[in-house]
Structure 1
Amino acid sequence: MIKILLENFNPDIRPFVWLVSAFILAFVIAYQTFPTILYVSKTKHLMDEPDGRSMHANRTPTLGGIGIFFSLVVVMTIVGAMLNTKVLLLVMGSLTILFFLGLKDDLTVLSARKKFTGQLLAATLLILFTDTRIIGFSKIFQVDVLPYWVSIVFTLFVYILIINAYNLIDGVDGLAGSIALLISAVFSVLFYNSGALSLATISVALIGALTAFLRYNFSSKHKIFMGDTGSMIVGFLIAFFAISFISQTQNNMSSLYFGSSPALILAMLFYPLMDTFRIFFIRIFIMKKSPFKADRNHVHHRFILQGFTHVQTTLTIVSINLFIILIAFSMLHLNLNTQIGLLFIYGSILFYAPFMIKKKLKKIRKNK
């Protein structure tokens, strides 16, 4: 009976049911895994010690990435025989490389060079063996198709940029997980509508794992951080989704997003990228120090300094990023260069607005 059912089962017939099942499976596995991780972390004293730049006061486990990785691998293993096995296996291989690098960094210390090398290796595997790459600039600044090796190098750069930009926003409760949840939700819809069921399954599985993680990340009694293990895995998947989406649309002239995919990706990743470029500018040109030296000048740190709580900071940033994405989708009819130019303008204004509103409210309270 089971053999006949499996032989005749086709996820393409009921993709929505399939994706809901992938979400539930990922959520349940992650949710059941985190208590064990918390217990082992506390028993073996594998905790993050608060320091001068920490936004928390208590010792907290940082191995949440283990639960995220475990749930993703189980889901991809179970669905692998029924979907695009090649892509799923290569994604799992890349995630495994990053998992062990991140785990070593969370438990001991890993040099930036080794992390960078691991990220390059993981990204190269997917680019070369699936030929999933950014083939051109979609006529941004009149540049269209790139030479093959230039395309590969640029795609590698995009992977490294997104992975590390995502890692940098993991500074307050729920922020990194919520931003990734939002981005994965958008990609799930895009992949579902385009018929890319393998990619939709991975993105939905990530949503399930992150939903379970956020339950603990926001908790006051059983808090857990995703750590470098989680941030590298999640950042890598977001980069993979972004590059896969651009690659698909650039190779399909009939796609609704053929001339707009770079702008949509920039909108989805607006906060991580904006914060990264901003922090690098401050460190290099204003503070005259290494751009990789940690401090508390991130946008989310500024929100906390302005009196926002962790939850308020996360909700505000995620809401703004969602609004930016919605505006980007409403401007698909415009020229790509115009879309990107306007994105930088309205995106910057929207992220500056909460500080102006907070300052105005303080002034009103003072005058009362």
Structure 2
Amino acid sequence: MQIDKRAWLERFKKMFAGFDRPLALIVFLLLCVGIVTLYSASLDVPGRVEDQLRNIILTFALMWVLANIPPTTLMRFAVPLYTFGVALLIAVALFGLTRKGAKRWINVGVVIQPSEILKIATPLMLAWYYQRREGNIRWWDYIVGLLILAVPVGLIAKQPDLGTAVLVFAAGFFVIYFAGLSFRLIVPVLVAGVIAVGAIATFQDKICQPEVQWPLMHDYQKHRICTLLDPTSDPLGKGFHTIQAVIAIGSGGPLGKGWLKGTQAHLEFIPEKHTDFIFAVFSEEFGLVGGLVLLTLYMALIARGLYIAANGATLFGRLLAGSLTMAFFTYAFVNIGMVSGILPVVGVPLPFMSYGGTALTTLGFAIGLIMSVARQKRLMQS
């Protein structure tokens, strides 16, 4: 009987050998925090927590499958997946469904949002390209990489979907940077960005007037930025989200009001409280201490992901794991920044916290790919 137990235990260990234990533990803890917060944010909507639990089970199953696929196999899907994703984006531009002024979906028997595919397909494609050029990367390869990145980002921004475009751009750009793009080339862009932000803040009274048109931007995007600078200019419109979220975060204080005791959330002052603004619900109920714990979990996830990337067995694995890890940083930074009132509201979910099957599946896909890179290194060492 004892032998049977040991054999069963060994089979169980082999089944989950692809999981990177520290990374899986961090993700599990974030999901636990997310479910606890979602329960509070969804007291008035029965069934939402159960739906999210089903999404989590499916996500872990997807992570398990991907973690056991060798990166060499994943490389074979890079070009087809990227090509398929871009083709769907073009189809969306031509035949897509329009909802709330945005054309982001297409009906292929079921209604899908193809831009989600590109969150994974773009860094996968770029990592494949630079793996093929390993040892012979020249300056024009970075231009090629930027062109590969510009196609999906441009199509997604045109829908318009600025939040997803930012996430796809970040994931792809980090591949190009980790492939060897000189930081000296990035500094002028950063300086220009700082100058632009300073100019907008300085002259907001003039450039935020209704008759002033901003080049390359839609009116609603201009309005979001102007409202960010002065939320009180539209307190019952675009500024309402930011004002109520900041009130909720501030009212939490050091220790929070306690679970299920957040007044801003339960009195329906916080919009989209179960998705984009779930951090406001969490901060109101768990306070500054809870926020620091949550940030620590995200930092641990990023640190573990970068450790796996740094020790990847191939250039493809290192680039893929590094870019996907930094994409998680972008998710968390943009979401917490917009909820806190320091970034425009662009509709980016908080990783493993926000409700939604599509976003959770995409995040699980990314974690599975990172675990695949870690598993390859362990197999080479054993």
Q: Structure 2 length as normaliser, TM-score?
A: 0.29
